[in-house]
Structure 1
Amino acid sequence: MKSLTGYISAGWDTSSSCWYISGGGSVLAFSFVADVVDTMLKGTLYLHHFGWEYPARNIAHVVLCLMAIRISNQTFHGALVMIFLLYEMSYILRLYLSAG
């Protein structure tokens, strides 16, 4: 358990976990691409239901995930997680509460 002391501290060595960070960013970026493919397979009417924000959201998310793979700044990663969570909650609420 001593090895976990200070795990999230400023001294945490991100170089040893590079595979984890880049793997997570890659999986997340791939999931957004897969979501677009899945949505397109459901038809153009379904795709247009999401409006202009859907493709813009997916492009921005993929670009930010790819940036996160290359950037090892913990502040950037923390801010990105918070932005993703807040935006996704907002997007889901706006999309589905206004739908009906």
Structure 2
Amino acid sequence: MTAIVRTDDVLGGDPRIEGTRIGVLHVFDLVIAGTSTPEDAADQLGIGLGDVYGALSYYYDHADEMARIRARHESLEDELAERTVQPPTAVE
């Protein structure tokens, strides 16, 4: 059985597959929101097929938590985009 763990100093405490730095959200995004089959995702990530299904199961069993994590990620992305300085354009 796949263990999903949280560690404050790994992936910011987001749930991940034990023994890896592969987050539940990453697996979901590859398989459900993306174009990978579970088999392809397992191969790409170097994990077992059971780990993929374990992560997906965790995602669906903790949908509210995962929605909060996704919202936090999107907020951080927005904040970083606002703080990014665009390089000056060349003047001809």
Q: Does the pair score TM above 0.5?
A: no
Larger helix fraction of residues:
1
Structure 1 length normalisation: TM-score?
0.29
**TM-score scaled to structure 2, two decimals?**
0.31
Structure number with higher relative contact order (C-alpha < 8 Å, ≥ 6 residues apart):
1
